[in-house]
Structure 1
Amino acid sequence: MDLIPKPNQVVSAAANVAQKVLYGGVADLRKMPRTLIDEGLLRQVYHYRPTGTAQETGDPVLLVTPLAAPSICFDLRRGCSLVEHLVTSGRRTYLVEYGEVSFKDRNLGMEHWIDEVVPAAIRAASAHAGGRGVHVIGWSLGGIFMTLAAANDPDLPIASMTVVGSPFDVSKVPLMAPLRPLVRLADGPVLGGRTRSGRGPVQRIYQSMGGAPKPLVRWAFQLSAAQKLVTKPVVKLQNLDDTEFLAQIEAVDHFTANMIAYPGRSFGQLYHRFFKTNDLKYGYFEFGDRRIEIARVDKPVLVFGGASDGIAPVPCVKAVVPLLTGSPEVRFEVVPGGHLGMLTGRAARNTTWRFIDDWLEQWSTDGAADGEDAAGESESGTRAQSGARAKSPAGAKSGARAKSPARPARSTKERGASADQASPDQGSPEQDSPEKGIGANPKRRYGSAGSRSLAK
């Protein structure tokens, strides 16, 4: 509001206060209707039902939730819901969530999600959609689960991958930098990926508690935006007439209040392998004697970094790009917003979601396949096994499937120049608006050749 509020601002502020007092808030927190199609240990796969006159077509889209965060990250509130956007666009939309984590789940490690939960969810979405390849979208740790699952099993029916705000190099998280020397001092020196004592104080705490409890997870998420947390009361008063602003704050508060605990063993792996030894920075993740190499990912990958993300800053997310040397195409985009805002903030409607729409269109199978015999497709397994297929070029016959025209080969010098120019610090969302299409800013676009050159 203005320092001296205008009459219309006073009326809007009064209406918002009345809505809060009488009905508890101004945000529409209704969730999109869905049906459970598959379940297992800490795994529930849901299919979102079409709404209104929208009819489902095309390939399925699977949303992968991170550990400890509620699945409402994808369905935050009406008007700021990626699920709502996909469903009303007519896409077959699925989501995998994990339910409540309790003390009895303390022995579950990350391999449970990488080997079982995410692969089972991908196969369930593919089977429910008639054997089609699945476009998988993972936010935060969900993007890491998805990436490691794809690297571990190249035969998964994945059409494309979208990684949103996933931290692949925690050494580039300013919030963590002051803590790393303290952790090394407390737990002892790291030798071969393990502490000398093997029983540091942090390890003893999470083992005795069975993991990271909800309050700790909630506090850690809020700490990433501590400044906003302190100034929030003043900001709310200043925007008392802005219904959309107040609704977003309510929705984020609702999301934060529903954080979920980490299982003990998974939390331990995150602590040791992500925070202490930072394995993903080097392109691998180890479970005992098994090693998963990110370079084995052979699907097209779109990567998003949030311009104001305090949990996974742009350089931290961008670190995965040069590791994806086996991918046919890798693209990196910087979008407005923090860790959650880049996914489902008010600006995401015209940035992140439009980029996702373009990416799904590019790597979707030909829409004419909807009219084919689903049983024949399932029996042949062609669509599920082939992974990504490029959409037919404009003007192609409806019954034909064709790949996008091959791009002209670039010289080593050109590839190196492209990689050198590709810096997320250059260019802003305003300069690279989604109306221009994905990767319109050449300084933030990576073809497969560009990603390989970065790895050299």
Structure 2
Amino acid sequence: MVHSLMPEFEESEREALTADRLFNAGLGRYTQGLSPAAVSLATFDWAVHLATHPGKQFALMDEAMRNAMRYNAYVFSRMTGTCPEPCAKPWPGDDRFSAEQWQRFPYDVLEQGFLLTQQWWHSATTGNRGVTQHHEDVVNFLGRQVLDFYSPSNFLATNPEVLEETLSQGGANLVQGFANLLEDTERTISDRPPVGAEDWKVGENLAVTPGKVVYRNRIMELIQYQPTTKTVYPEPILICPAWIMKYYILDLRPGKSLIEYLVSKGHTVFVISWKNPGSEDRDLGMDTYRREGVMDALEAVTTIVPERKVHTVGYCLGGTLLMLAAATMARDGDDRLASLSLLAAQADFTEPGELELFIDESQVTFLEDMMWEKGYLDGAKMAGAFQLLRSKDLIYSRLIHDYLMGKRAPVIDLMAWNADTTRLPFRMHSEYLRDLFLNNDFVEDRYDVGGQPIHIGDIQVPTFAVGTEKDHIAPWRSVYKINRFLPRADVTFALTQGGHNAGIVTPPGHPRRIYRSLARRYGDPYVPSHVFLEKATEQQGSWWPEWEQWLRERSGSRVAPPSLGQSEGTYQPLTEAPGTYVLQS
């Protein structure tokens, strides 16, 4: 009797799971992908511990009273015409109140009230004993989002810069701002790119380095670039970008293209262009991307350029995938790699940066339910998460500039690329979040490939890693850990100014760029990140030339360029670069 009831019980469980997933998928449309359970758990953890710590409560009340006294004294002084010292100063990087108009009464009073409230909230949400660090970060983040929304800089009546502009234009800026708002709303609803992005077109003024697609499978196209020098270095370069971005971030436009730069220096360059997945690709997993992405591309490269090892380059999650492939190759005795270059790529996810705010068991389950409905995670959901992390710069500054000031900032190449979003398959993104992000299986030797574990420490090829100072996706100190994980490899680490994208896309001649680098040879002791800052050589300009020289020093004497693909065989040219997959929306 028990056995006869089992199929019916299993069917009811599946139906219940389907109902749960459909409910959460619908809920996610209104929460921008944030799990209500994750937010509630964090808030409850913080609130209960605060309620049971009277000492912390008294300290916060004391701080509030002292702030109120300081603020009242400041207001009184300003009303009587004196200029006292400010009660609080903006945090580093916050330039909302940097204009001279904010120093005038009564706007300086509004600014000081906001800054004091911001400081108090930071005190209230940090240093609560017993609260998990993740929950503390979430509550602090949520509070900052509310405060940033109510910042006096966001409203017409309390922003002196906007008021001055409105008076000088007779309100024309508000009329134009309202028109901008209507246009942006219409474009969002109709799923069109932002205003100005249409001036940038892939294959016309973006991704225009000449080349051909020499291989295509169900998840990627492989592009080989046409040589521009009479001779080339014999070892080809294979670039693996992240699948959460279009590859042409590395071939942005002439003069700002890393691929163009490498080709001009005599390197034979190949790049993987990932397909933008749809519902039919929901079951593609991490290992599919390793096998049919990195390994299939490597097989094509070593066939077109035979008897040569390959310099491999991975950007962001493409670098993580490349490390998985390199560790698997090391385990299996595959010695086709000449070197490994990692651009803002993490192996260890214990310090993943601000994205950790959105990743815990509850949040991952919620995201899985959202992805389950369509079979993928929409690029708009990822873009929304990144915007929340930098709401002052990406949300409210645009609100002020576009809708209150009535202006339009020109869309530059990098902005147009950023608007060209991609999707993530259900299974692959779930495996990435759970196996790598939550469990950190790779560096803790629990990540299996083909039923056997792989070990990052098995990688012994020379490695060049790049971190960027303002990276909120792959913090440079996390990227720097590659020095610790590859004890048997020569590792050079470069730290450059800029963020996750702008720090990488830094061509020679870029003004105001500084980078520092330090090489560690096999056998040298590990140098902690804070010591790296003291020892590393600081240099003006782009890190590209040093990296390109590093590649040259690990390459052979120059030879005649290889053909583009094969005249006969599997890897015959299919179409001109940039191919077809990159054009998918």
Q: What corresponds to 2:225 in structure 1?
A: 48
Note if contact 1:44-1:98 (Cα within 8 Å) is conserved in structure 2. Answer: yes
Q: What corresponds to 1:334 in structure 2?
A: 495
Q: Distance in 2 between matches of 1:343 and 1:156?
A: 28
Corresponding position: 1:34 with 2:199: no
Note if contact 2:207-2:248 (Cα within 8 Å) is conserved in structure 1. Answer: no
Q: What corresponds to 1:419 in structure 2?
A: 527
Q: Distance in 2 between matches of 1:54 and 1:60?
A: 15
**SS at structure 2 position matched to 1:125:** helix
Change (3 A) 1:221 1:435: closer
Q: Distance in 1 between matches of 2:213 and 2:323?
A: 24
Deviations 1:143-165 (A, max 9, x none): 11111111101315111110010
Q: What corresponds to 1:268 in structure 2?
A: 430
Q: Distance in 2 between matches of 1:82 and 1:163?
A: 14
Q: What corresponds to 1:158 in structure 2?
A: 337
Q: What corresponds to 2:39 in structure 1?
A: none
Q: Which structure is larger by alpha-carbon Rg, 1 or 2?
A: 2
Corresponding position: 1:105 with 2:281: yes
Q: What corresponds to 1:402 in structure 2?
A: none
Q: Distance in 2 between matches of 1:234 and 1:316?
A: 34
TM-score computed with the length of structure 2 as normaliser: 0.51
Q: Distance in 1 between matches of 2:319 and 2:539?
A: 27
In structure 1, stretches of 5+ residues that fail to align are: 4-19, 188-199, 237-245, 360-406, 440-456
**SS at structure 2 position matched to 1:175:** helix
Corresponding position: 1:344 with 2:487: no
Alignment map for 1:26-425 (pairs within 5 Å):
28-29=205-206, 31-51=208-228, 55-154=231-330, 155-180=334-359, 183-184=360-361, 200-230=365-395, 231=397, 250-282=412-444, 284-286=446-448, 289-327=451-489, 329-345=490-506, 415-416=524-525, 419-420=527-528, 423-425=531-533
Larger fraction in helix: 2
Larger fraction in strand: 1
Q: Distance in 1 between matches of 2:494 and 2:487?
A: 18
Q: What corresponds to 2:406 in structure 1?
A: none
Number of equivalenced pairs? 342
**SS at structure 2 position matched to 1:169:** coil
TM-superposed CA distance for 1:267, in Å, is 0.7
In structure 2, stretches of 5+ residues that fail to align are: 1-98, 101-194, 403-408, 548-585
TM-superposed CA distance for 1:424, in Å, is 4.5
Deviations 1:306-335 (A, max 9, x none): 1111110112212232111342x1122211
Q: Distance in 1 between matches of 2:508 and 2:398?
A: 19
Q: Distance in 2 between matches of 1:436 and 1:79?
A: 13
**SS at structure 1 position matched to 2:454:** strand
Note if contact 2:282-2:427 (Cα within 8 Å) is conserved in structure 1. Answer: yes
Change (3 A) 1:115 1:206: same
Change (3 A) 1:201 1:306: same
Q: Distance in 1 between matches of 2:313 and 2:510?
A: 16
**SS at structure 1 position matched to 2:308:** coil
**SS at structure 2 position matched to 1:120:** helix
Task: State the one-letter code of the partner of 2:350.
Answer: S
Change (3 A) 1:330 1:429: closer
Change (3 A) 1:429 1:215: farther
TM-score computed with the length of structure 1 as normaliser: 0.65
Q: Distance in 2 between matches of 1:137 and 1:350?
A: 25
Note if contact 2:494-2:543 (Cα within 8 Å) is conserved in structure 1. Answer: no
Change (3 A) 1:317 1:436: closer
Task: State the one-letter code of the partner of 2:238.
Answer: L
Q: Distance in 2 between matches of 1:102 and 1:436?
A: 35
Give the RMSD, CA atoms, in angstroms.
3.9
Q: Distance in 1 between matches of 2:256 and 2:465?
A: 20
Change (3 A) 1:74 1:205: same
TM-superposed CA distance for 1:103, in Å, is 0.8
Note if contact 1:355-1:438 (Cα within 8 Å) is conserved in structure 2. Answer: no
Q: Distance in 1 between matches of 2:515 and 2:231?
A: 20
**SS at structure 2 position matched to 1:96:** strand
Q: Distance in 2 between matches of 1:215 and 1:70?
A: 14
What percentage of aligned pairs have identical amino acids?
A: 21
